[in-house]
Amino acid sequence: MTTNLTAPMSKQLLFGLLTITIGVELLLYLSGYSQLAGTIYDAIMVSSFFIGLKLHRRLSSGTRKTKLQHIRQFIGAFLLFILGSTIINIYSSYAFQDFSNDYDQYVETYTEVVSDDSDIVESNEPSEPVDKMWEVIDEIDTVGYDIYTDILAGLEEVWRLAYIILILFVFKNIFPKRWEKGRRDIFVLIAIFVTSVLFGIDHTLSTVDSWPYEIGAIVTFANMGFLFGLILLWTRNLWVTVLVHSIYDILATLSWYYFEFIVEITAMILLPIYLILVVVEKNQKTSNIVVSEDIAN
Q: What is the pLDDT of residue 77?
A: 96
Residue 65 pLDDT greater than 50, yes or no: yes
Question: Does residue 121 lie within any of the structural domains?
Answer: no
- 77 vs 64, residue with greater confidence: 77
- Per-residue pLDDT tens over the stretch 273-296: 999 999 988 888 777 665 555 565
Question: Which residues constitute the domain of residue 184?
Answer: 2-112+128-296
Question: Does residue 279 lie within any of the structural domains?
Answer: yes
The type of residue at 21 is: T
This prediction's pTM: 0.87
**Rounded to the nearest 10 degrees, what angle do helices 67-95 and 262-296 cross at?**
140
Question: Does residue 46 lie within any of the structural domains?
Answer: yes
* Cβ-contact 67, 14 below 8 angstroms: no
Question: Does residue 122 lie within any of the structural domains?
Answer: no
The total number of structural domains in the chain stands at: 1
Question: Does residue 118 lie within any of the structural domains?
Answer: no
- Per-residue pLDDT tens over the stretch 72-114: 999 999 999 999 999 999 999 898 888 888 887 777 776 765 3
**Residues present in the chain in total:** 297
* Rounded Cα gap, residues 252 and 250, in angstroms: 5
Q: What is the pLDDT of residue 212?
A: 82
Q: What is the pLDDT of residue 115?
A: 38
Residues 6+ apart with CB under 8 A from 92: 99, 100, 216, 219, 220, 223
Q: What b/e readout covers 126-153, taking b as 16+ CB neighbours within 10 angstroms?
A: eeeeeeeeeeeeeeeeebeebbeebbbb
Q: What is the pLDDT of residue 128?
A: 66
Question: Does residue 123 lie within any of the structural domains?
Answer: no
Q: What is the pLDDT of residue 290?
A: 57
- Per-residue pLDDT tens over the stretch 206-232: 777 788 888 999 999 999 999 999 999
- Per-residue pLDDT tens over the stretch 122-177: 455 555 666 677 777 777 788 888 999 999 999 999 999 999 999 999 999 998 88
